[in-house]
């Protein structure tokens, strides 16, 4: 399969044209219209600093079903203790910075470059990108962020500085999305951590069909999905939901 060189206009080839490992296209920019089109088509950017912009649509695709979240005994104990509090969109920029600073498997550097942070900051200000923050007192100790289109949440990255903190943020997010009848959380590519939480792989064609079921229609104008602003999540509600 060829790797497509993108033009200035925000267009993409079909995800079915991706190489076996998922690489679809190179080039273009991280403008809001291009990013929204990409996510609506099941495509996401992923590249390191100093590389050209690379666009991916892997097959199979890793997802988390909202009724498939696995809560271990230790995590359940953490939830029962009420060690942490959770908020939405209270510290989006700080979550991005913390995700960028978190070592990934001993690799140097980060794919969450300044360009990426600026682009997703723009999506956040327009209501498309959201963060979930986990707090211990006044300290930000974990969280995650992603894009929301229709009734699908496209997870991007998570971090923790305290035991179970990122998992607690995910539990809160799943509870919120289940209440609103969301279709799925996109996890992009699998790893052992995601698998331990219940993530699984499905064929790309099924994933794209699931996006449509979740109200994400490729190439159509997307409307921002409101999330609670700086609202803590009650643990009783989260436990009931999950």
Sequence-distant (6+) residues with CB within 8 A of 193 are none
Best CA proximity match to 23, nearest among 38, 6, 43, 9: 43
Q: Which residues of the chain have pLDDT under 50?
A: 106-109, 234, 237-238, 240-242
Strand order of the β-sheet with 23-26 is 4-5, 23-26, 54-56, 44-45
Cα separation, 11 vs 17, in Å, equals: 14
Q: Say yes or no: 105 and 196 in one domain.
A: yes
Interstrand relation of 85-88 and 129-136 (parallel, antiparallel or unpaired): antiparallel
Alpha carbon 12 to chain centroid distance?
Answer: 21
Burial class (CB in 10 A: 0-12, 13-18, 19+), 46: middle
User: Which residues fall within 8 angstroms of residue 188, CB to CB, at 6 or more apart?
Assistant: 44, 46, 56, 58, 61, 62, 154, 155
Are residue 26 and residue 71 in the same domain, yes or no?
no
Q: What is the CATH number of the domain that holds 159?
A: 3.40.630.70
pLDDT tens per residue, range 123-174:
999 999 999 999 999 999 999 999 999 999 999 999 999 999 999 999 999 9
Same domain, 121 and 157: yes
Q: Which residues pair with 56 in a beta bridge?
A: 23, 44
Assess whether 107 and 31 both reside in one domain.
no
Domain that holds residue 50: 4-60
Dihedral over Cα of 159, 138, 129, 50: its sign? negative
**Whether 44 and 68 share a structural domain:** no
User: What's residue 108's pLDDT?
Assistant: 47
Q: How far apart are CA 204 and CA 107, in angstroms?
A: 28
Tokens of 148: 């929301």
Q: Do 69 and 49 fall within a single domain?
A: no
Are residues 67 and 177 both part of a single domain? Answer: yes
Task: Count the domains in the chain.
Answer: 2
Per-residue pLDDT of 55-73, as tens digits, reads 999 999 999 999 999 999 9
Same domain membership, residue 91 and residue 47: no
CATH code of residue 20:
3.30.70.3550
**197 and 81 in a common domain:** yes
195 and 228 part of one domain: yes
Q: Do 107 and 8 share a structural domain?
A: no
């Amino acid at each position: 399969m060829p790797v497509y060189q993108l033009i200035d206009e925000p267009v993409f080839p079909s995800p079915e044209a991706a190489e076996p490992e998922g690489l679809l296209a190179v080039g273009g920019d991280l403008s809001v219209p291009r990013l929204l089109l990409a996510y609506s088509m099941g495509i996401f950017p992923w590249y390191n600093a100093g590389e050209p912009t690379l666009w991916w649509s892997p097959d199979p695709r890793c997802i988390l079903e909202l009724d498939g979240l696995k809560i271990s005994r230790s995590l359940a104990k953490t939830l029962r203790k009420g060690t942490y509090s959770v908020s939405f969109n209270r510290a989006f920029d700080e979550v991005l910075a913390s995700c960028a600073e978190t070592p990934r498997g001993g690799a140097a550097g980060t794919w969450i470059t300044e360009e990426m942070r600026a682009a997703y900051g723009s999506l956040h200000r327009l209501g498309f990108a959201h963060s979930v923050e986990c707090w211990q007192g006044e300290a930000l100790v974990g969280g995650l962020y992603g894009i929301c289109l229709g009734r699908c949440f496209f997870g991007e990255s998570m971090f923790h500085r305290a035991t179970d903190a990122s998992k607690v943020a995910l539990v809160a997010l799943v509870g919120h999305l289940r209440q609103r009848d969301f279709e799925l959380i996109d996890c992009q590519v699998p790893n052992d951590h995601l698998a331990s939480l219940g993530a699984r792989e499905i064929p790309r064609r099924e994933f794209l069909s699931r996006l449509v079921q979740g109200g994400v229609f490729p190439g159509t104008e997307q409307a921002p999905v409101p999330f609670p602003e700086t609202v803590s999540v009650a643990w009783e509600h989260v436990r009931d939901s999950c």
